[in-house]
Chains A and B, each alone.
Chain A
Amino acid sequence: MTAAELLAEYGDHVFDEIDLEIEADSLVGFATACGETHPRFVDPSHADFQGVPNYLTRIHGTRSLPEGFPVEMHRCFDAGKSIQVHQPVRQGDRVTGRSEIHDIYEKSGRTGTMLFIVHRMNFYNQGGDPLATVDWRLVQREFD
């Protein structure tokens, strides 16, 4: 299948959904290990205590790709992540993450063709307010 055919078949629908509660220990551990020192990230008693901007990138769904998606994971690597922050995530938030295939495209070079799969997770809090959009670029080498 071409990238366009894959996108037509697997894109544009939510294929996985998870929810979990955000705990202070996790927020603090993530922040301190990354080198944050500001109390709003490392002190749960701070009035504006919140997760660091990329905290939600740690959350994965129950599966990385839609059922039946024809990719060989052992030929894949993690090419990068981006996060668009809509509002801070906070201790006690009940977060829902919904996964979809946002984009699929090919790039060709001297060493062959690679397939880029953009896995998107949209995160919401318990009130349904958007928290963040996380795009994970998964690349399969030697795509043909």
Chain B
Amino acid sequence: MSKPSDTPETSEKQFEDVEFGEDLPEVDVDVSLDTVKVFAKASMMLADRFTDHEAAKKAGLPGAIVPGIMSQGILVAAIHAWAPNAKVLNVDTIFRAPLLVDSKPVASGVVTDIDDDTKVIEVDLTLRNEKGETPVVGTAKVTL
């Protein structure tokens, strides 16, 4: 439901192809109300702060918010948009601020470590909103 901003790698990526400091293709993320409702149903996260702007405002939020684990999944998907064959070993995500439903965030990442012995690649991940803020950041370790 999200679309890479740049032409994605569609073929499998090899460990030898990855460079330290390499940017992952930015992904325009779909956090529309309809898509968040799909996620909420699939994950049984049925609280209306995720799926109803008015209910979220009554709860003191600026609007409906994207579930944190959906943001995490979006960052994982950004890894797969870069390297479809990537095997994610772990991902750690920090929720700094709410990400609003119907906003237009962009997912990005950069390769921050490459271990030639273990073949593990570390990637820093970011979800950026229209204001340039980064409400969700994370790191992941992957192999190819």
Report the separation of the CA atoms of residues A2 and B56 in the bound assembly, to the nearest whole angstrom: 34
CB neighbours of A35 from chain B (8 A): 1-2, 27, 29-30, 73-74, 77-78, 81
Report the separation of the CA atoms of residues A35 and B69 in the bound assembly, to the nearest whole angstrom: 13
Assess whether B69 is in contact with A33, with CB atoms less than 8 Å apart.
no
Q: Does A34 interact with chain B (Cβ within 8 Å)?
A: yes
With A26-B42, A84-B89 known to touch, is A32 a contact of B1 (CB < 8 Å)?
Answer: yes
CB neighbours of B84 from chain A (8 A): 38
* Complex interface bits, B71-108 against A, C-beta within 8 A gives 1, otherwise 0: 01110111011001000111111110000000000000
Categorize the interface residue count of chain A: 20 to 34
> Can you list 16 A-B pairs, Cβ within 8 angstroms, ordered by A?
A29-B41, A30-B42, A33-B36, A33-B42, A34-B39, A34-B73, A35-B27, A52-B73, A57-B69, A57-B72, A58-B42, A58-B69, A79-B94, A80-B92, A80-B93, A82-B92
Given A35-B1, A35-B77, 8 more A-B residue pairs with CB atoms under 8 Å apart are: A27-B42, A36-B77, A38-B80, A52-B73, A54-B73, A54-B88, A58-B43, A81-B69
